[in-house]
């Protein structure tokens, strides 16, 4: 099959022919139809320090996908060729305390599709049946290919009561903007999102943010008074991975506010803990998606009108992956989707 592979420990990726993946008795072979590029894939492409430490070559990359079942292992009894699927990219151990208790998203030994094992940017992907999401075929495949990052947004946002609440989202990357859509759907009053990137702020406005705030020109406190808010935000969703954004958020939270931290902060990020203490804030770290409550909620919300399709700003055939990665790395994009339905 054709696949986009990190063939050597250096920047770049190659489109190469490799053997089709083999399946075990509990696995499902998926014929990939659409994939979407994540920041993680860009890190692997660019071969930054994290990638150098984490990725073993050769390895197929990618973990955001939608496809149809091609073949199932002999133990798989409830999924059939042709079924439309996506899948959870965190393969859990099944044996640790949290896995055994049904809290699989808190597994202490996850393996990442396209990170620690071969990924989805190929004509076929093999994963365990326990990682396959049997999808509603009415959901467009390209939207389904966004379920992994949408799940990050849904997990972070739905960790808290949002109905009638004022929500601050720091970082208007794809996941931040998806969080705007989710918070709106969940009935938030004001949804304010911040960034320095005008392209992404424009996308957030298109997705019905109350205020998409350009930090080059305005402050979060200014937005609060513009909206007639006096006590601060009830819910904060940190989606930038920038320590300054965390501190901006802490400074603008209401007493008793709730915060989800999704953006990866890096080492030695400094936080004003006194804001957390004196305001009585609750902070929750978010990693991945709940298996599979988040997937259920994504499906149910899309079936009831949640529309993330404006987030897809670029589409390429998989043979044009170089161009696609260039766009994804430049920051002037929402989600960049690769098509695998047409032959190469
Ligand atoms: P992204 O990098 O595309 O977007 C981040 C945005 O934050 C950018 O538009 C950037 O301009 C903006 N930003 C930078 N500094 C800022 C500041 N001080 N205030 C406001 N905005 C600022 O990222 P993404 O793909 O949308 O993902 C969001 C974050 O979540 C990233 O940090 C990513 O690594 C992380 N992530 C975490 C998980 C998880 O499971 N915890 C999963 C996926 C992604
Ligand atoms: Zn486990």
**Whole-number pLDDT of residue 344:** 85
Residue 234 has pLDDT above 90, yes or no: yes
Same domain (yes/no): 127, 224: no
Residue 103 has pLDDT above 90, yes or no: yes
- State how far the alpha carbon of 7 is from the alpha carbons of 44, 45, 202, in Å: 11, 11, 37
Same domain (yes/no): 133, 179: no
Among 156, 175, 207, 325, which is best to mutate for testing ligand 1, by the most ligand atoms less than 8 A from CB? 175
Ligand 1 atom closest to 240 (CA): 7
Same domain (yes/no): 27, 125: yes
17-54 pLDDT, tens digit each:
999 999 999 999 999 999 999 999 999 999 999 999 99
Indicate whether 152 belongs to any domain.
Answer: no
| Atom 26 of ligand 1: nearest residue by CA position | 173
Q: What number is the average pLDDT over the span 311-319? A: 98
Q: Count of alpha carbons within 13 Å of 10, Cβ hemisphere only?
A: 3
**Whole-number pLDDT of residue 137:** 98
Residue 342 has pLDDT above 90, yes or no: yes
Which residue range(s) make up the domain with 137? 2-146+308-339
% of the chain at pLDDT higher than 70: 100
| Atom 9 of ligand 1: nearest residue by CA position | 173
257-299 pLDDT, tens digit each:
999 999 999 889 999 999 999 999 999 999 999 999 999 999 9
How many domains, the chain? Answer: 2
Domain at 274, CATH number: 3.40.50.720
Average pLDDT over all residues of the chain: 98
What pTM, to 2 d.p., does this model score? 0.98
- Cα(228) to centroid(ligand 1), Å: 28
115-151 pLDDT, tens digit each:
999 999 999 999 999 999 999 999 999 999 999 999 9
Task: pLDDT band for 200, please (50, 70, 90 cuts).
Answer: very high
- The residues lining ligand 1, judged by C-beta closer than 6 Å to any ligand atom, are 39, 152, 170-176, 194-197, 200, 215, 239-242, 244-245, 262-264, 286-288
């Amino acid at each position: 099959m054709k696949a986009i592979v990190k063939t050597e420990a250096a920047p770049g990726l190659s489109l190469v022919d490799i053997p089709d993946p083999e399946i075990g008795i509990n696995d499902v072979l998926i014929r990939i139809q659409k994939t979407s590029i994540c920041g993680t894939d860009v890190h692997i492409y660019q071969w930054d320090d994290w990638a150098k430490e984490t990725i073993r070559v050769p390895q197929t990359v990618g973990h955001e996908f939608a496809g149809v079942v091609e073949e199932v292992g002999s133990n798989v009894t409830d999924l059939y060729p042709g079924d439309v699927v996506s899948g959870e990219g965190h393969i859990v151990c099944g044996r640790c305390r949290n896995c055994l208790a049904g809290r699989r998203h808190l597994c202490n030994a996850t393996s990442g599709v396209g990170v620690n094992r071969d990924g989805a940017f190929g004509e076929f992907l093999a994963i365990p049946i326990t990682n396959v999401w049997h999808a509603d075929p009415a959901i467009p495949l390209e939207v389904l290919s966004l379920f992994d990052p949408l799940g990050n947004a849904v997990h972070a946002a739905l960790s808290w009561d949002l109905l009638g609440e004022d929500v601050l989202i720091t970082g208007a990357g794809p996941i931040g903007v998806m969080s705007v859509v989710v918070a709106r759907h969940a009935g938030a009053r004001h949804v304010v999102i911040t960034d320095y990137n005008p392209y992404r702020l424009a996308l957030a406005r298109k997705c019905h943010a109350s205020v998409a705030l350009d930090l080059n020109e305005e402050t979060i406190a200014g937005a609060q008074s513009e909206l007639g808010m006096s006590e601060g935000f009830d819910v904060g969703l940190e989606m930038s991975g920038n320590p300054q954004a965390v501190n901006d958020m802490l400074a603008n939270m209401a007493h008793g506010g709730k915060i989800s931290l999704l953006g990866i902060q890096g080492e030695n990020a400094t936080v004003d803990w006194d804001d957390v203490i004196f305001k009585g804030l609750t902070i929750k770290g978010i990693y991945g998606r709940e298996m599979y409550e988040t997937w259920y909620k994504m499906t149910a919300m899309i079936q009831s009108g949640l529309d993330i399709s404006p987030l897809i700003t670029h589409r390429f055939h998989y043979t044009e992956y170089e161009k696609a990665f260039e766009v994804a790395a430049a920051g002037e994009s929402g989600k960049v989707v690769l098509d695998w339905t047409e032959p190469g």
